[in-house]
Structure 1
Amino acid sequence: MTDINTNGLKPSGDPAVATGSSRRDFLRDQLAASATVVGGWAMATNASASQAEPSAGSSDDQPLRIALVGCGGRGTGAANDTLTINENIQLVAVADLDMSKCEQKRTLISKRHREKVAIRDDKMYAGLDAYKRVLDDPEIDLVLLTTSPGFRPYHIAEAVEAGKHVFAEKPTCVDPAGYRVCLAAHEKAVANKTAIVTGTQYRRQTNYIEAVNKIREGAIGEIVSATSRYCSNGIWHKVRKDGMSDLDFQLDNWMHFIWLSGDQITEQAVHNIDAMNWVMGAPPESAFGCGGRFTRPDDSEMWDSMSIDYQYPGNRILSFTCRQIPGATGDNGNVVYGTEAIMHIGAGSTGSRIVDRSGKELWSCKGSIADAYKQEHKDLVDSIRSGNPIVELKQTAESSLTAVMGRMAAYTGKQVDWNFVTERSKLDLFPKNLTSTSEITSPGYAIPGKTKLV
């Protein structure tokens, strides 16, 4: 997916939202993040929370009622995809920091899907607690969470607790603390029978599915190693407006601040990392990497390139590279080297193919990314209606944390292993007690050897 600006919604200081912050603080204080403790946290929240039942609208005779949280480009795309492919659904609410964006999206989406949009004026929520108003609305069955990624784990967790079905854009976390929140939310969604489908569309793209099946069948022999690249050009950056607070500027430029985006490797390149975790059948055991910055604006925390060696079980190495540098050659795709042949899995709609050592093509398969974007929403709605909700948060959280592990290795100049990031890391980038008046000073960009492994 290309970079499209979205708008982050954040917890506010009002009493209704403070509950979500206390849950996050409780999780942070309880864990070094073992699965046992995560499960304990899930049980604790089950005992103390409102015990909301899954929303209505899951039968075929009434529309499934949907709300969009985050009215940026990705939110528009998600709403359009689900309204295009699904019948008997209605978009009934929108939420964003800015009311004008709510109004714009209502107008835009209504033009394309007039019969499936029924957003009253009082169902447009704006401000710091806009997402909370959506979750408190008993008329809403399914929420599309498309804000900036730093908020994603906490929005998902609160949505599950409120009994809502969820579509969550990727990545689902930008640090180990968020990963643990996702694990607990996954388990609670399974227990509550609320669906969670994520924006990892390659998992539903024909040529990716067939490529993984071929690999599983032994068509390339045993996997030896792989390469993956997500190399693109520059991205957007907004000039700071007069009078902007640090917080407002960071929210407006969310891609450039690590607590909001997780850097390119997490925010964008997680698509390829997720595909490689799928191919390998598990997350990697460790990461070692490097990178730097040459073209980013002075006020950006992002690097513009990273190269990570991921070691997977069986001593299989993935050489992964991502970069966003204007004028540089782009390359996006994955190559899996087997003992018998080589699998090429292209990004976008470029398809997949197997070649032998001489380059002769042995097999190929086409795929449409546009169809995959829609299929994830059809699968989600179909699972809700069938009473067998899909819950796939854990696999996307693992892929997101794989990207985070690579970033941590590159930023610190250290080798980082899976056990550390899942069980011992204390890294929690989300600001505590965030309100509209919070003062957030950027720590600047990471420098290997100086930036500590936390």
Structure 2
Amino acid sequence: MTTGEASRRRFMGTGAALAAGIASTTGRPVRGAEPAESSSSSASKHLRLALVGAGGRGTGAINDSLTINDNISLVAVADLEGDKIGKICESLSKRHGDKVAVDSSKMHGGIDAYKRVLDDPEVDIVLFATPPGFRPRTVLDAVDAGKHVFAEKPTCVDPAGYRLCVTADEKAKANGTSIVTGTQYRRQENYVEAIKRIHDGAIGDIISATARYCSNGIWNKTRKEGMSDTEYQIYNWMHFIWLSGDQIAEQAVHNIDAINWIMGGPPESAYGSGGRFTRPEGSEMWDSMSIDYIYPGNRLVSFMCRQIPNSQSDNSNVIYGSKGICTIYGINRGAMIHDRDGNEVWSMEGDLGAAYKQEHKDLVDSVRAGKPIVEFKETADSSLTAVLGRLAAYTGKQVSWDFVANESKLDLFPENLDMQASLPEPSYAIPGKTKLI
């Protein structure tokens, strides 16, 4: 299909091809493959949403859901900084009117605020956009409370968190509750179509791939006077590994997730390196990593992520096959397939904004149709693949999937989280000194 033909034949957001692409990654029925029966009372049921984590990504997520879904309302918000919730709700209300109906009694502040959301019988769906280190425990609590969930990526930052995610996934399937995750590329039309074509043999046998998420830096927040260690680290969470998982997990997991989707699952091992050149004092992050992942069938994926100011950016996945090459770019750049002679045989534009909204439509539709989407395990696998690469780079050792998934004892979350507590002095990994746990 040419670019023009692709433009004329763009998938509908809930079209069968898009749904089939998602279903093939989750192994479960996905809302969108067929419409819910309009005569069913559940098809038009009013659903009440709550947001946990009202930062930029959280407000973006709830805005997407309120924009694309009808007959829903935001009824509760929880955030560490409870005093900012009122202004956020006021801003959302200006955009979405009576879809925002958060009474002051349902504006919850503090480290345990999410628990009050989970105890609220009026809440049907909870959107989690807190720092990633909290994700496994809070989502598992939500599943235990019988809530449907939207969980931002990554879903874990260490092996202990991964195992909690697996448990949450199993319980959600048993409960009949949905968990949709913020891996929006799995709902972006050009990704779905490109990967379907790869799986259908358009480039022949997959031989190898490269994946890149190279950008120009990341935010950093200065410590405010009087902040405890815990308060500051959560405030500046990107720079602490127990909260963000480093760039490879927090940001570059999107590319890793796409590669796992293409390859049919996680890799067998990782070996890598990297370092830090431009991070601020006190940050635990590296600013570059290069990982060789080996996937089943002895297929090599060369992966790189970088956040260095004034360096050249690249967000792409290039898959090399025996008959051709598929390139899938991030954001809105689209995807294309070339044969081995370099001739373009197919291309399609990208629309990231539509994908951000589609994940929320799929969640709401699945709840109303009584056909829950549970994709937590898939995103946890991709998150742990990022952790696998990080551990290989941090320690300078080749690390196997079996080790991180089943043997590793690494648990980065503080044993007794206290907002006024001191935490160990921040430190960054040094290969050869940092131990593989």
Give the corresponding residue for 1:10.
none
Give the corresponding residue for 1:97.
80
Q: How does 1:44-443 map to 2 (within 5 A)?
A: 59-443=42-426
Question: Does the Cα contact within 8 Å between 1:144 and 1:166 map onto a contact in 2?
Answer: yes
Q: Distance in 2 between matches of 1:160 and 1:435?
A: 24
Deviations 1:118-141 (A, max 9, x none): 001101000121111101111100
Deviations 1:191-233 (A, max 9, x none): 0001000000000111000111111111101000000000000
Q: Distance in 2 between matches of 1:101 and 1:366?
A: 38
Q: Which segment drifts farther, 169-178 or 352-361?
A: 352-361
Extract unaligned runs of 5+ from structure 2: 1-40
In structure 2, the residue corresponding to 1:68 is in which secondary structure? strand
Q: Which segment drifts farther, 97-106 or 384-393?
A: 97-106
Whichever residue aligns with residue 346 of structure 2, its letter is: W
Deviations 1:154-211 (A, max 9, x none): 0000000001000000000000000000000000000000100000000011100011
Q: Displacement of 1:365 after TM fit? A: 1.2
Question: Does the Cα contact within 8 Å between 2:173 and 2:374 map onto a contact in 1?
Answer: yes
Q: Distance in 2 between matches of 1:375 and 1:252?
A: 30
Identity %: 67
Q: Displacement of 1:400 after TM fit? A: 0.2
Q: Distance in 1 between matches of 2:212 and 2:264?
A: 19
Q: Distance in 2 between matches of 1:354 and 1:122?
A: 54
In structure 2, the residue corresponding to 1:59 is in which secondary structure? helix
Q: Displacement of 1:343 after TM fit? A: 0.2
Question: Does the Cα contact within 8 Å between 1:280 and 1:312 map onto a contact in 2?
Answer: yes
RMSD between superposed Cα atoms in Å: 1.1
Q: Distance in 1 between matches of 2:273 and 2:383?
A: 18
Query: How many residue pairs were aligned?
Result: 398
Question: Does the Cα contact within 8 Å between 2:45 and 2:368 map onto a contact in 1?
Answer: no
Deviations 1:32-68 (A, max 9, x none): xxxxxxxxxxxxxxxxxxxxxxxxxx92454100000
Question: Does the Cα contact within 8 Å between 2:230 and 2:418 map onto a contact in 1?
Answer: no
Q: Distance in 2 between matches of 1:315 and 1:404?
A: 21
Q: Which segment drifts farther, 242-251 or 213-222?
A: 242-251
Q: Distance in 1 between matches of 2:224 and 2:167?
A: 39
In structure 2, the residue corresponding to 1:113 is in which secondary structure? helix
Q: Distance in 1 between matches of 2:216 and 2:90?
A: 32
Q: Displacement of 1:100 after TM fit? A: 2.4
In structure 1, the residue corresponding to 2:290 is in which secondary structure? strand
Give the corresponding residue for 2:36.
none
* TM, length-normalised to structure 2: 0.90
Whichever residue aligns with residue 223 of structure 2, its letter is: R
Whichever residue aligns with residue 378 of structure 1, its letter is: K
Q: Displacement of 1:260 after TM fit? A: 0.2
Q: Distance in 2 between matches of 1:302 and 1:206?
A: 33
In structure 1, the residue corresponding to 2:42 is in which secondary structure? coil
Whichever residue aligns with residue 188 of structure 2, its letter is: Q
* TM, length-normalised to structure 1: 0.86
Question: Does the Cα contact within 8 Å between 1:309 and 1:320 map onto a contact in 2?
Answer: yes
Q: Which segment drifts farther, 92-101 or 146-155?
A: 92-101
Question: Does the Cα contact within 8 Å between 2:249 and 2:386 map onto a contact in 1?
Answer: yes
In structure 2, the residue corresponding to 1:194 is in which secondary structure? coil
Q: Distance in 2 between matches of 1:74 and 1:420?
A: 32
Q: Displacement of 1:441 after TM fit? A: 1.7
Whichever residue aligns with residue 388 of structure 1, its letter is: K
Q: Displacement of 1:443 after TM fit? A: 4.1
Deviations 1:330-362 (A, max 9, x none): 000100000110000010111110012332211
Whichever residue aligns with residue 214 of structure 2, its letter is: C
Q: Distance in 2 between matches of 1:60 and 1:274?
A: 31
Q: Distance in 2 between matches of 1:382 and 1:412?
A: 44
Question: Does the Cα contact within 8 Å between 1:66 and 1:92 map onto a contact in 2?
Answer: yes
61 and 281 in structure 1: CA distance in 2 versus 1, 3 angstrom threshold = closer
Q: Distance in 2 between matches of 1:239 and 1:422?
A: 35
Q: Distance in 1 between matches of 2:102 and 2:224?
A: 32
Extract unaligned runs of 5+ from structure 1: 1-57
Q: Distance in 1 between matches of 2:257 and 2:309?
A: 25
Deviations 1:14-36 (A, max 9, x none): xxxxxxxxxxxxxxxxxxxxxxx
Q: Displacement of 1:437 after TM fit? A: 2.4
Whichever residue aligns with residue 152 of structure 2, its letter is: E
Question: Does the Cα contact within 8 Å between 1:60 and 1:88 map onto a contact in 2?
Answer: no
